[in-house]
């Protein structure tokens, strides 16, 4: 039979049948098929209800970052990430901030933006004024969509209208500002945006195309700051090195992309562990980093009058505790319980603190011994395992490769052979 990805009724098949099809298609061995279909102790019906055509799950390592004291409260922070060194770096950075009391954090109310795009309007400025004049009416209509949200103190709270110049002429963009309480908010906001489209068309004579939430959640920022005492981080030259590293990122988008990537190593890992939408957070973070017109670091550093390092972070944090994977996925549920967070804002603040810690750790390493030393032994472990090194030899192979500074698959295989031979001799 011809190999095809067009599989009639694939989505209707039970998981075991889907897996058979996939296995044949990919020429997978028993072990490979098993690796794809692992559910990591989770009832297969859960992934099957979360996405389409599920055949398994992709277990990502989950580590726990220690030493986090945020607003004087102790946290163990679950982080799901495949990259070595990230969890250790966050824990170390948090430990070094302990002396000065850990992290101070805060956040805005959970207000998201829903956008409604109005096109073909003859008098865009006039339409803009009209929309603003009738905003109470629009808010009432929006809130009729979600009485539950209104009952718990959320709901549509404001209307903005902007005229933008586009390649197809001026457009009027309406923003409905919705307090989504402890949800990420996409469903509530999109429903309201869709409901407002017909009345807005009637009001302005325009034609609505898009009705969708914006991930640039500028009204839902989270902030964290910490002071690292110079003695706790290796002295004043380290403080200076980190301030210089920050200036580099501030002045150069090539460096800034990597600087912000390091921040997102921490934030995404907390987001993934708690079942949040990592792509939404990434999109918001990078758009916010560019909001001035040039791409800037999400963190800032300065030297205090005492010669210590003051670091801070601010970014949009559209996180949820209700709805989506956070409530459905058992690992996410357990992670939220471990954190003991009661509101989406508290989770947003923790993630911001972890992002700052992660960035501090990376800059400290980069401004001193370099990043490779810390990475080396975990990287060497991965290489040894990828080279097929038996578990009993892994520690020894890692030790030799790191001491030789030759962390390569071929070298790992050679060392394994040597170890096997020497075992045979003894
Ligand atoms: C690697 O995942 C992250 C770093 O590159 C971040 C940085 O350079 O600041 C170490």
Is 123 marked active-site?
no
Q: 259: CA distance to ligand 1 center in Å?
A: 6
Asked if 76 and 341 touch (Cβ cutoff 8 Å), the reply is no
Q: 366: CA distance to ligand 1 center in Å?
A: 8
In the numeric block, the tokens 């068309």 are attached to 201
Q: What are the pLDDT digits (tens) for 302-360?
A: 999 999 999 999 999 999 999 888 888 989 999 999 999 999 999 999 999 999 999 99
Nearest CA to ligand 1 atom 4: 262
pTM to 2 decimal places: 0.90
Buried b (16+ CB within 10 A) or exposed e, 241-253: bbbebbebbbeee
Residue 166 burial by CB count (10 A; 0-12/13-18/19+): exposed, middle or buried? exposed
Q: Can you tell me which atom of ligand 1 is nearest the CA of 249? A: 9
pLDDT, residue 426, reads: 72
Instruction: Look up residue 284 and give its two tokens.
Output: 């918001």
Alpha-carbon distance of 35 to 19, in angstroms, equals 11
Please compute, for residue 357, the number of CA atoms within 13 A of its CA located in the half-sphere on the CB side: 35
Average pLDDT over residues 358-379: 88
Look at residues 185, 180, 212, 211 and name the one whose alpha carbon lies nearest to residue 198.
211
Is 388 a residue whose pLDDT tops 80?
yes
Considering the candidates 48, 375, 406, 418, report the single residue annotated as catalytic. Answer: 375
Alpha-carbon distance of 408 to 395, in angstroms, equals 15
Q: Does 111-214 match 63-107+220-368 at the fold level?
A: no
CATH topology of domain 63-107+220-368: 3.90.770
Residue 161, H or E segment: strand 155-166
Nearest CA to ligand 1 atom 3: 262
Considering the candidates 20, 73, 157, 261, report the single residue annotated as catalytic. Answer: 261
Considering the candidates 146, 179, 182, 277, report the single residue annotated as catalytic. Answer: 277
Architecture of domain 111-214: 2-Layer Sandwich (3.30)
Q: 260: CA distance to ligand 1 center in Å?
A: 8
To the nearest whole percent, how much of the chain has pLDDT over 70?
100
Residue 381, H or E segment: helix 372-386
Average pLDDT over residues 214-232: 98
Give Dmax over CA atoms of the chain in angstroms.
90
Q: 362: CA distance to ligand 1 center in Å?
A: 6
Q: 359: CA distance to ligand 1 center in Å?
A: 8
Q: Can you tell me which atom of ligand 1 is nearest the CA of 262? A: 6
Q: Can you tell me which atom of ligand 1 is nearest the CA of 259? A: 9
pLDDT, residue 179, reads: 98
**Residues within a 6 A CB radius of ligand 1:** 83, 258-259, 261-262, 265, 362, 366, 371
Q: Can you tell me which atom of ligand 1 is nearest the CA of 365? A: 10
Is 1 a residue whose pLDDT tops 70?
no
Mean pLDDT of the chain: 95
pLDDT, residue 328, reads: 87
Is 277 marked active-site?
yes
Nearest CA to ligand 1 atom 1: 262
Is 286 marked active-site?
no
Look at residues 219, 223, 271 and name the one whose alpha carbon lies nearest to residue 109.
219
End-to-end alpha carbon distance in the chain: 54
144 versus 380: the higher-pLDDT residue is: 144
Nearest CA to ligand 1 atom 2: 262
Mutate to test the pocket of ligand 1, among 261, 264, 356, 376 (most ligand atoms within 8 A of CB): 261
Q: What are phi and psi of 82, to 5 degrees?
A: -90, -10
Is 104 marked active-site?
no
Alpha-carbon distance of 68 to 72, in angstroms, equals 9
Mutate to test the pocket of ligand 1, among 258, 266, 268, 356 (most ligand atoms within 8 A of CB): 258
Average pLDDT over residues 66-95: 96
Residue spans of the domains in the chain: they are 10-50, 63-107+220-368, 111-214, 373-425
pLDDT, residue 215, reads: 98
């Amino acid at each position: 039979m011809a190999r095809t990805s067009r599989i009639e009724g694939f989505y209707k098949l039970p998981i075991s049948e889907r897996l058979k099809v996939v296995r044949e298609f990919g020429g997978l061995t028993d072990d490979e098929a098993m690796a794809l279909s692992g559910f990591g102790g989770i009832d297969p019906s859960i992934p099957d209800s979360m996405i389409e055509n599920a055949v398994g799950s992709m277990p990502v390592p989950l580590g726990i970052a220690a030493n986090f004291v945020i607003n004087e409260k102790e946290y163990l922070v679950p982080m799901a990430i495949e990259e070595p060194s990230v969890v250790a770096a966050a824990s170390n950075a948090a430990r070094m901030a302990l002396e000065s009391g850990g992290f101070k954090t805060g956040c805005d109310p959970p207000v998201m933006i829903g956008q409604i795009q109005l096109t073909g309007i003859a008098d865009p400025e006039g339409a803009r004024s009209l929309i603003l004049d009738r905003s109470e009416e629009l808010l009432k209509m929006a809130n009729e969509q979600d009485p539950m949200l209104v009952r718990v103190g959320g709901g549509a709270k404001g209307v903005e209208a902007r005229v933008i110049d586009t390649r197809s002429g001026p457009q009027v963009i309406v923003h409905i500002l919705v307090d989504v309480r402890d949800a990420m908010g996409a469903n509530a906001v999109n429903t309201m945006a869709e409901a407002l489209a017909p009345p807005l068309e009637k009001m302005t004579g325009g034609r609505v195309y898009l009705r969708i939430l914006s991930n640039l959640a500028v009204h839902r920022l989270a902030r964290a700051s910490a002071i690292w005492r110079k003695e706790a981080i290796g002295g004043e030259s380290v403080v200076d090195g980190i301030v210089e590293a920050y200036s580099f990122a501030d002045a150069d988008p090539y460096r800034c992309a990597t600087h912000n990537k390091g921040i997102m190593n921490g934030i995404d890992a907390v987001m993934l562990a708690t079942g949040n939408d990592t792509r939404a957070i990434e999109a918001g973070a990078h758009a916010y980093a560019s909001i001035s017109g040039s791409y800037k670091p999400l963190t800032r550093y300065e030297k205090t009058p005492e010669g210590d390092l003051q670091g801070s972070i601010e970014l949009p944090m559209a996180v949820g505790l209700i709805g989506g994977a956070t409530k459905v996925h058992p690992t996410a549920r357990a992670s939220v319980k471990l954190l003991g967070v009661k509101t989406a804002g508290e989770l947003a603040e923790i993630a911001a603190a972890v992002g700052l810690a992660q960035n501090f750790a990376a800059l400290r390493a980069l401004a001193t011994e370099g990043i490779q030393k810390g990475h080396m032994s975990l990287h060497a472990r991965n290489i040894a395992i990828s080279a097929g090194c038996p578990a009993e030899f892994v520690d020894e192979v890692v030790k030799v490769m790191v001491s030789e500074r030759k962390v390569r698959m071929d070298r790992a295989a050679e060392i394994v052979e040597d170890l096997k031979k020497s075992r045979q001799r003894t």
